[in-house]
Amino acid sequence: MSYDSLLERFLTYVKINTRSNPESNTTPTTQSQVDFALNILKPEMEKIGLKDVHYLVDNGYLIGTLPANDTSHTRKIGFISHMDTADFNAEGINPQIIENYAGGEIKLGQSGFSLLPEEFPNLNHYHGQTLITTDGTTLLGSDDKSGIAEIMTAMEYLASHPEIKHGEIRVGFGPDEEIGIGADKFDVADFDVDFAYTVDGGPLGELQYETFSAAALDVDFIGRNVHPGTAKNQMVNALQLAVDFHNQLPEADRPEKTDGYQGFYHLHGMSGSVEKASSSYIIRDFEDSSFENRKAFVKKIADKMNEDLGSQRVVISLKDQYYNMKKVIEKDMTPITLAKQVMEDLDIKPVIEPIRGGTDGSKISFMGIPTPNLFAGGENMHGRFEFVSLQTMEKAVDVIIGIVKS
């Protein structure tokens, strides 16, 4: 089905910089997310007919309700997307619209960058479709402005078509998902649904209820700096300790060498000097036992290094971030069964695979609302090569409408 407001709505959203900031201690972490919620989304939600639209200062979520129009539909369903975008330039987003994509190169404005099928074979899935791309200087923000636009368009359509019978629907737009803290303060009692979906996935058909379990690992290395000419048996090079620590991790257990259900250690930051250095890792795995084994292994490395050094020069800090939501959702597969059937009825092939990452649904599921993830359409997310198909976004709206009327 075609939705007249979808493209304009999406373009309006993505042009607004809502990048989150991991260095901030506020909620949300950037004022732009607050402004987007209060100045753009809230008035629009009220205009299209959502009720009890309210912004929760404590957690940065904007919540609205489409009341039930049929008492026989007793199930309450929620749809959630996040307002922030990832850590790539989000200022001055200038989307390109490629109608009836015929294949081949797509030049990204005057940036000198291009989308090439040889580098991005996923382009070959979109011949004949309308693609929205970047101009090569920013990300697009389809993650997750696509999801917000799709939810809003579905709610607008349902509000203007009362002949489509449905139960109570709650929508929530939250902050800071990209930095892993957006759902930490999610208010389950306020949202009050039987189950929900994050509309935050990638290509057509994605339906996901398994995520990594995740931990953050920070390691501080304490050295002793003396003149290198007289360093023998005196200097302790903190940078070398960081290298030695890293070299003891399994070489094959890196993101660039793993897929499917394989976990990894990912070094994403290293800095310092001879006197003091630090490394930051994320640890990911799907199974509880292997997740715990990974955490125990890094502790073992640190303990052995400290024993050999004769003092506590390797100091680790481990923090669990989220857990595999499969443990919650598999207890009642209704949300998955329902979405799968709706997709099949729409001639969309469900793609049920684990997320090699996390969504807000991971934390929300463990808080008491089972929340699997639906496709939103974005490809090559978090950078200048990001794009999305308008037709895929339209199908996401179809799926949302199909779920609520089932």
Could you tell me if residue 296 is inside a domain? yes
Same domain, 40 and 95: yes
The residue among 162, 158, 20 whose CA lies nearest residue 79 is 158
Annotated catalytic residue 177 = yes
Query: Which residue out of 84, 135, 394, 398 is catalytically annotated?
Result: 84
- Sites in the chain below the pLDDT cut of 50: none
pLDDT at site 188? 97
Distance CA 115, CA 92 (A): 20
Domain boundary, last residue among 292, 322, 352: 322
Domain boundary, last residue among 290, 322, 354: 322
Same domain, 147 and 277: no
Same domain, 317 and 330: no
Distance CA 256, CA 258 (A): 6
Residue 290 sits in a domain whose CATH number is: 3.30.70.360
Same domain, 112 and 242: no
Same domain, 88 and 14: yes
Q: What is the pLDDT of residues 42-52, one digit of tens each?
A: 999 999 999 99
Could you tell me if residue 240 is inside a domain? yes
Could you tell me if residue 1 is inside a domain? no
Same domain, 245 and 348: no
Same domain, 68 and 139: yes
Backbone angles phi, psi at 144, to 5 degrees: -135, 35
Distance CA 116, CA 138 (A): 17
Backbone angles phi, psi at 137, to 5 degrees: -110, -10
To the nearest 10°, report the CA torsion of 60, 66, 72, 77.
-30
pLDDT at site 106? 98
Structural domain including 259 reads 213-322
Same domain, 101 and 85: yes
Q: What is the pLDDT of residues 349-391, one digit of tens each?
A: 999 999 888 789 999 999 999 999 999 999 999 999 999 999 9
**CB-based contact 175:27 (threshold 8 Å):** yes
**CB-based contact 86:381 (threshold 8 Å):** yes
As for how many domains the chain has, the answer is: 2
pLDDT at site 229? 95
pLDDT at site 166? 97
Same domain, 295 and 150: no
Query: Which residue out of 135, 156, 176, 177 is catalytically annotated?
Result: 177
Could you tell me if residue 380 is inside a domain? yes
Residue 73 sits in a domain whose CATH number is: 3.40.630.10
Distance CA 94, CA 109 (A): 9
Could you tell me if residue 45 is inside a domain? yes
Distance CA 231, CA 241 (A): 15
Annotated catalytic residue 84 = yes
Verdict on whether the full-model pTM lies above 0.85: yes
Task: Report H helices in 209-260.
Answer: 238-247
Same domain, 204 and 223: no
Same domain, 345 and 251: no
Domain boundary, last residue among 278, 295, 322: 322
The amino acid sitting at 150 is E
Same domain, 238 and 161: no
